[in-house]
Amino acid sequence: MSGPELEFHRPDGPWRSPAGAGPGVEECVLAEDPVNSRRTALVRWAPGTDTTPAGTARHDVWEEVYLVEGSLCDVTLDRTFTAGMYACRPPGMPHGPWVSRDGVTMLVITYP
């Protein structure tokens, strides 16, 4: 596995809106290897963020998500997920759309 060599430190941003993200979504990239499509980021959604207009999501990469704080509701499943919960999604797995009433912060790891 390749990526930057980073010892323990406090991530200090910057927080940016990722390409294609809807309003209220920001990320802080912790580590990235664009050559091998690997990425680790903190992703936060402001209270009231709603991805319903974008519909169901699918990715071409593996995606692992750990909810650090807050909660989000999967509209399709009519189920709310809270801090401490984890998801592992293979490429092409449908998920969402989502609504986060009170906001959420997630650790998101993607890889081929």
Question: Is residue 34 domain-resident?
Answer: no
The residue that leads in pLDDT, 19 or 102, is 102
Question: Is residue 83 domain-resident?
Answer: yes
Contact at 8 Å (CB) between 106 and 68?
Answer: yes
Q: How confident is the model at residue 79 (pLDDT cuts 50, 70, 90)?
A: very high
Q: Give residue 78's pLDDT.
A: 97
Question: Is residue 79 domain-resident?
Answer: yes
Q: Give residue 57's pLDDT.
A: 94
Q: How confident is the model at residue 12 (pLDDT cuts 50, 70, 90)?
A: confident
Return the CATH number at 107.
Answer: 2.60.120.10
pLDDT for 25-63, tens place per residue? 999 999 999 888 899 999 999 999 999 999 999 999 999
pTM over 0.85: yes
Q: Give residue 2's pLDDT.
A: 67
Q: What are phi and psi of 61, to 5 degrees?
A: -125, 165
Can you give the residue range of the structural domain that contains 76?
40-111
Nearest residue to 62 (alpha-carbon basis) of 104, 92, 34: 92
Q: Which residues contact 75 (CB under 8 A, 6 or more apart)?
A: 52, 96, 97, 98, 99
Question: Is residue 64 domain-resident?
Answer: yes
* Residue 6 in this model has a pLDDT that exceeds 80: yes
How far apart, in whole angstroms, are the C-alpha atoms of residue 103 and residue 62?
24
Question: Is residue 21 domain-resident?
Answer: no
Nearest residue to 108 (alpha-carbon basis) of 52, 49, 44: 44
User: Across all residues in the chain, what is the average pLDDT?
Assistant: 94
Question: Is residue 30 domain-resident?
Answer: no
Question: Is residue 22 domain-resident?
Answer: no
Q: How many domains does the chain have?
A: 1
